[in-house]
Every structure is written in C-alpha cells, then in structure tokens.
C-alpha cells in the first residue's frame, strides 16, 4: 500500500520520508545507493516502528527488493544499565573534551526542562519522552506491517546479545543501518554486528552520537572506532536542528 498524504503517515505512526525531517540524510542515502551497493538494511531499536515502516514503504516505492531487519527487545530497557549510561557521564565527556561546551549546556537545559514533568530523579529510564520504551507493542507493529503489505520487513525480537550473535545468518550483508538503541551495551553489541556485515560504501546512522540524554552511545561508538580509519562524521546541519552523525565504511575495509 502506498501512503499519499502526510496525515496518513501521522495516523499510522510512520515516518514520512517525503517530508523534511531528522532522517533526511538516511533516506537520501538509500535513494542514491540502493541500486549499486549490496546488502539489506537493519535497525537496532525499533520501538513503535516509525522509521522501520517508513523505510519499508520507501523501498517499495523505488522498486527495491532489499529487506529490512528490525532488532528490538520490545520490552523496554533492561533492568540494569551500564555506568556509562549515567547522566553524570556527560560531565566526564566535557572534561575529556569529547563534547563541546555548547553541547553540555544543552544537556543541562534538557535536564531542566524534563525535571518539570518528571518527579522522580532523572536517569536513563525517564529522561526520554518515551520513558523506558516499554510501551512498544509488537503485535500492533505486526498488524501495521500486514495492513501496509510490507513483506520486506522482518522483526527480530529479543535481547541484542542473542539476536545479534556472530553465528546469526541474516542479514548476511548490510547496505545501511539505523542505530537508535540508546544505551552503552546496546551499541557495544550492535556496532560490531553491523560493521562485520556492512558493505564497502555502506552507511550507519548514529542516532545517539549527538544526544542530550544517552551518553553511553557516544562512549561505545568512540571505543569501537578507536584505531579504525573509519570515523563518525557530522552531516551538514540544518538551521535549528541537532547535529546528525553517521559513519560510511571505506571501500577498502
């Protein structure tokens, strides 16, 4: 099924890839490279499936036979997070010169804003507007996939440590990935899984690399790319928008 108007995307909870938004560069990459870079696509951190469904619709619209694999526990955050997910880690990142003073000021401003509606102490489980992401409903997502006739979407439920194991068969090669999984250990598992399968010229969207909420994602990403020629890069910033970061794999890798 093809969605035509913005309200249709909104009612169904689907990212409108035809409308300017934060994932413009991700969708543009797919449009420009789907026909000459091998591999399928994957998302780590699906939640309610907005971008997952939007990517499936885009691929159908351009006549691509690429598949999209969506990894998520669909049970919210794990009961225990790593120390690098503590909001105080932003203090370390500033002191180490890994974030700017401007970024740090925005982190503090965001904490101030969130404290107006969150009565308990702020932490990784309540700093997001989606709270701990336990509101994900896998059955509702499956229903939308059937309704939109998206046979190119494959849900992979469960902990990343199990679903992104080295011996997993699919996807065997990845063209593009969207990492939106927030936490340190999630990035620690997802990055090597995706990178080992990423085609030369392949692309990874790093949703939390510039984050006001989840410091562990930047820590895990920097650790992974330490010593590698490939490094996170910043997309051209649109006025009024956050920084958007990505990695594009060198063809020689």
What is the CA angle 87-90-94, rounded to 5? 165
pTM of the complete model: 0.95
What lies within 8 Å, CB to CB, of 179 at 6+ separation is 43, 44, 45, 187, 190, 191, 194, 204, 205, 206, 207, 208
CATH number of 6-248: 3.40.50.150
- CB-based contacts of 122: which residues, under 8 Å, 6+ apart? 87, 111, 114, 115
Task: Give yes or no for residue 253 having a pLDDT over 80.
Answer: no
What number is the average pLDDT over the span 128-151?
A: 92
Please answer whether residues 249 and 232 qualify as being in contact, where contact means their C-beta atoms are separated by less than 8 angstroms. no
For the segment 140-166, the average pLDDT, to the nearest whole number, is 96
pLDDT at 252: 59
pLDDT, position 78? 86
Give the pLDDT of residue 242.
Answer: 86
Cβ pair 243, 234 in contact under 8 A: yes
Read off the pLDDT of residues 202-213 as tens digits, 9 standing for 90 and up.
Answer: 999 999 999 999
The lowest-confidence range among 125-134, 174-183, 201-210, 227-236 is: 125-134
Cβ neighbours for 1, distance < 8 A, ≥ 6 positions apart:
147, 148, 149
Q: Where are the domains positioned within the chain? A: 6-248
């Amino acid at each position: 099924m093809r969605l035509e108007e913005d309200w249709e995307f909104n009612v169904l909870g689907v990212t409108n890839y035809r409308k300017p938004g934060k994932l413009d560069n991700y969708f543009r990459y797919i449009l420009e490279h789907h026909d000459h870079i091998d591999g399928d696509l994957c998302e780590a951190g699906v939640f309610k499936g907005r971008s997952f469904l939007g990517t499936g619709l885009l691929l159908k619209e351009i006549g691509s036979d690429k598949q999209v694999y969506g990894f998520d526990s669909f049970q919210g955050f794990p009961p225990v997070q790593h120390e690098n997910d503590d909001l105080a880690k932003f203090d370390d990142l500033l002191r180490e010169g890994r974030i700017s003073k401007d970024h740090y000021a925005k982190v503090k401003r965001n904490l101030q804003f969130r404290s107006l509606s969150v009565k308990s102490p702020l932490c990784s489980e309540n700093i997001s507007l989606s709270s701990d992401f336990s509101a994900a409903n896998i059955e509702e997502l499956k229903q939308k996939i059937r309704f939109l006739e998206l046979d190119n979407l494959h849900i992979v439920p469960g902990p990343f440590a199990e679903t992104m194991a080295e011996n997993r068969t699919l996807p065997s090669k990845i063209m593009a990935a969207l990492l939106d999984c927030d936490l340190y250990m999630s990035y620690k598992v997802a990055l090597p899984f995706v990178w080992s399968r990423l085609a030369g010229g392949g692309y990874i969207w790093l949703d939390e690399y510039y984050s006001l909420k989840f410091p562990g994602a930047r820590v895990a990403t920097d650790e992974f790319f330490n010593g590698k020629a490939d490094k996170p890069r910043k997309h051209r910033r649109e006025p009024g928008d956050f920084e958007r970061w990505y990695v594009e794999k060198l063809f020689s890798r």
